[in-house]
Amino acid sequence: MKWRVLLEVTDADGRVVTHEVSSGSRPASGISAGTVGLTLAEGKSTLAGLQQRLVRFQAGLFCRERRLCQGCGSQRPIKDRRSRRVTTLFGTIHFDAPRFNPCRCGVASRRTISPLAEVIPDRCTPEYERVLAKMGALASYGRAVALMAEFLPLGGNPGIETARRRTLKVGARLERESLKAKPPATPEAKSIAVSVDGGHVKSIRSYQVRSFEILLAEASNDRGQHQLFNSVAVEADRERLQLGGVLRGLGDTPETPIYVAD
């Protein structure tokens, strides 16, 4: 038997485009445990092919829409064409990325626009960055990258430094959002206790080149609610904001006594 996976895309004008994503074959008669369904390699190849066709179609459609001037409806002149890439969980996709000069009418915009740079500034999808950061937080960066490449068609393993940088970037963004977010209404606490401790993480000559100190703390209120938090020296400027958010979440008010132990 033979099989094919086809992608059918219909644009806003009703035009239908069909692409073959992947194909394969199986013995004409009889099956075995090894020939049932798709293999991991075939599944990864199918996902990669589907993602590549879909992303390129979306990019082309979006660029055609953005080329139209909002003022007069004419097409903007093409300034140049560049190759751009976006990293996804199902592969790294390279596609044509045109840039457009301002429209001759000069009404809607007087600047050069790069449509795909506007919607994909980080050259990766948020889902890819989120999963990579989650894996990097649960395991070593090298192990996290290896596990993702084992089951996903990444199209080339991300570097360990890339995984580290994106994990820290997501962590910093989540921390900023948590500091800005207004905590839910919490009953007023009668008292809050804060325990502070610290530690020294020594470097390994074959791996790291420096040592650093880490601050560990636990806060609890009279209702038995606990919250752990930590910080390092390079984040000392944000420790006050971090502690304030923790205390407010436990029901701190200007009259609440706070006891600190080290």
- Cβ atoms of 38 and 32 within 8 Å: the answer is no
- Cβ atoms of 240 and 250 within 8 Å: the answer is no
- Cβ atoms of 231 and 214 within 8 Å: the answer is yes
Residues whose CB falls within 8 Å of the CB of residue 250, separated by 6 or more in sequence, listed in order: 186, 189, 192, 219, 220, 221, 225, 227
| pLDDT for residue 230 | 79
Strand 192-201 relative to strand 258-261, pairing:
parallel
| pLDDT for residue 51 | 93
Phi/psi of residue 182, nearest 5 degrees = -85, 120
As a whole number of angstroms, the distance between CA 31 and CA 17 comes to 34
pLDDT in tens, the chain (262 residues): 888 889 898 887 888 889 888 888 888 777 777 778 888 888 999 999 999 999 999 888 888 888 888 878 788 888 888 888 899 999 899 888 888 888 877 666 677 888 888 888 888 888 998 898 888 888 888 888 888 888 888 877 778 888 888 888 887 787 777 666 666 667 888 899 998 888 877 776 665 566 777 888 889 998 888 888 877 766 666 777 778 878 888 888 888 888 888 6
- Cβ atoms of 186 and 248 within 8 Å: the answer is yes
Nearest to 121 by CA among 78, 79, 169: 169
As a whole number of angstroms, the distance between CA 97 and CA 84 comes to 6
Pull the structure tokens for residue 78: 């093409």
| pLDDT for residue 11 | 81
Pull the structure tokens for residue 26: 């199986």
Nearest to 242 by CA among 193, 165, 199, 183: 183
Nearest to 223 by CA among 248, 253, 190: 190
Other beta carbons within 10 Å of 228: 11
Which neighbouring-strand residues pair with 75?
68
Q: What is the DSSP letter of 3?
A: E
Helix (H, G, I), strand (E, B) or coil at 151: helix
